[in-house]
Amino acid sequence: MSSAKPLVDRFARAITYLRLSVTDRCDLRCAYCMPERMTFLPKAEVLSLEELHRMALGFIDRGIRKIRLTGGEPLVRRDMIELVRALGRKLGDGLDELTMTTNGTQLAGFAHELAEAGVRRINVSLDTLDREKFARLSRRDSLPAVMEGLAAARDAGLAVKINTVALKDLNEDEIPDIVAWAHGQDFDATLIEVMPLGEVEEDRIDHFLPLVAVKERLDRLWTLTASEHRTGGPARYFDVAETGGRLGLITPLTGNFCEGCNRLRVTATGQLFACLGGDERVDLRAAMRSANPEAELHAALDTAMRIKPERHNFAIDRRGQAPALARHMSMTGG
């Protein structure tokens, strides 16, 4: 596949960023993400680490320059670090960056190994600094473990970005404190609008907080200046004069950013979703397990470029609204 053409969709967008889920399982049960009694995939349906590695190499051959490992929670997968090490060997040889999104609960045990394997920065999902509220939101009393993991990441030299989902009436008043705390730790901070993926126990409109309103409040507290900083993802960044840190905003509902989309998502079962907000998919597991996996993967990626939509159609604008898609974020890959 080394002579295969780069991935470019029908809207002339070059696809250079792969978000690769290694598991749908998670050791938290965040209320906006999944139900308490979540049904996870049978392990037999999940790609082996060897299959994930060979698939990732195929993507790199087609021009993918950045891979983010996701879940669920990627670090709950057994022997996950072996995949990180294998992909890390491609850094400087087709791959520019290998990163990870994690909830941080397992990070204390893996931070130094991640750094040794070539990971230079990670995203850590954290929606509150209050232990009681954390336990209520995630349905697990794991904030101390997350804090231990963040300390280990800093000690290992990993750059950290804190990802916080903005939730009306849940962490709305705490957002300035989270941002100030993150910047005080030399972490970047990014705020994210809640996305309508999968059925959960509560109505998402009760907790949907438009980031335009959040930014208006932050503008009254601090001096925010638009930044030219880019990471290859969808966030728009601002420098905060008073904290000396960087703030990102991800606005899938109030500020569509699809025109610059450079991403594909692959689930742990090998389903390639051309758009987080769409059902367009290609079965890469079938390709990888075919008699001619290299050619079939090549053909499947070509199909993905033809079906990738121009934009998503997320909306949270009325009570009782069904989720945009039945699948949960943990299944798709965060």
Rounded to an integer, what distance in angstroms lies between the CA atom of residue 95 and that of residue 79?
22
| Binding site as annotated, residues | 19, 26, 30, 32-33, 68, 72, 101, 125, 161, 195, 258, 261, 263-265, 275
| Binding site as annotated, residues for GTP | 19, 68, 101, 161, 263-265
Rounded to an integer, what distance in angstroms lies between the CA atom of residue 211 and that of residue 163?
14
Token pair of 325 as six digits:
């898609």
**CB distance 203 to 214 below 8 Å:** no
User: Alpha helices, DSSP H only, in 185-333?
Assistant: 211-221, 284-288, 293-307, 329-332
DSSP β-ladder status, 245-250 and 263-266: unpaired
| Binding site as annotated, residues for S-adenosyl-L-methionine | 32, 72, 125, 195
Element (H, E) at 247: strand 245-250
Rounded to an integer, what distance in angstroms lies between the CA atom of residue 48 and that of residue 293?
15
DSSP β-bridge partners for residue 248? 190, 237
Rounded to an integer, what distance in angstroms lies between the CA atom of residue 139 and that of residue 137?
6
Rounded to an integer, what distance in angstroms lies between the CA atom of residue 47 and that of residue 82?
14
| Binding site as annotated, residues for [4Fe-4S] cluster | 26, 30, 33, 258, 261, 275
Rounded to an integer, what distance in angstroms lies between the CA atom of residue 198 and that of residue 181?
31
Q: Assign residue 12 a region: left if phi > 0, alpha if psi is -120 to 50, beta otherwise?
A: left
User: What is the total residue count of the chain?
Assistant: 334
